[in-house]
Amino acid sequence: MLQDKLPKDWKQALKAALDSPSFQELERFVAKERQEATVFPSEEDLFSAFRLTPYADVRVLLLGQDPYHGPGQAHGLAFSVKPGVPSPPSLVNIFKELEADVKVPRPKDGSLIAWAEQGVLLLNAVLTVRQAEPNSHAGHGWEAFTDAVIRAVSEKTEPVVFLLWGKYAQKKKKLIDATRHVVIEGTHPSPLSASSGFFGSRPFSAVNQALESKGRPPIDWRLTR
């Protein structure tokens, strides 16, 4: 079962969603897909974001849409790829803005594990995908589950910064209590839109300013130490 891979703290926070008929149907769908096709990420990597970022430690939620659909790329963290895997175009643009904004040099690979370990929940709205078929698992139940994740984070008493890039992510704003948390909206880093507002938006310094304004420590955005 999918939820067997989920850490205990997140299971408790998401109990209602995990017990729902829609999640049980999702489990059956993903199991069938894994039997019939190559599905990314692997079962072991599926809930990496939750394993690396415990519920109590979430300071930032960065929302993506769909896992990478090429071999060796997706490993359960939005926008991130496994160490040693070439960075996809959106991630290249993220690194360009990272350097321009907070002077962090482009890392050797595209793994964002260092962010996740500091409390940046790198959450995709859909957590699985068929190889070479983007958005193939959209509309099969993941969205209800990840909406529950967003709500659970919004219920935290400690302030969290929600970073929503692009119109898809911004539709989730209604799930967030903006009176307690900070919502930062911006252009998606995709090559189709990065030049129309992502470059120059300085999201990383904005996140840290928001955290510090709420009395929380900033994120060390360096990926190479």
Determine if the pTM surpasses 0.85: yes
Q: What pLDDT, in 10s, does the model give residues 43-76?
A: 999 999 999 999 999 999 999 999 999 999 999 9
Domain-embedded: residue 220: no
What range defines the domain where residue 203 resides?
A: 2-214
- Tell me which DSSP letter residue 217 carries: P
Domain-embedded: residue 24: yes
- Does residue 225 carry a pLDDT above 80? no
Domain count, the chain: 1
- Tell me which DSSP letter residue 54 carries: -
Query: 203-213 and 89-102 are packed helices; what angle lies between their axes, rounded to 10 degrees?
Result: 60
Domain-embedded: residue 175: yes
Cβ atoms of 55 and 158 within 8 Å: the answer is: no
What residues act catalytically?
66
Domain-embedded: residue 121: yes
Percent share of the chain, pLDDT over 90: 96
Q: Residue 165 sits in a domain of what CATH number?
A: 3.40.470.10
Domain-embedded: residue 222: no
Q: Report the alpha-carbon distance of residue 47 to residue 116 in Å, rounded.
A: 12
Domain-embedded: residue 223: no
- The pLDDT of residue 16 is 97
Whether the bond into 41 is cis, omega within 30 of 0 = yes
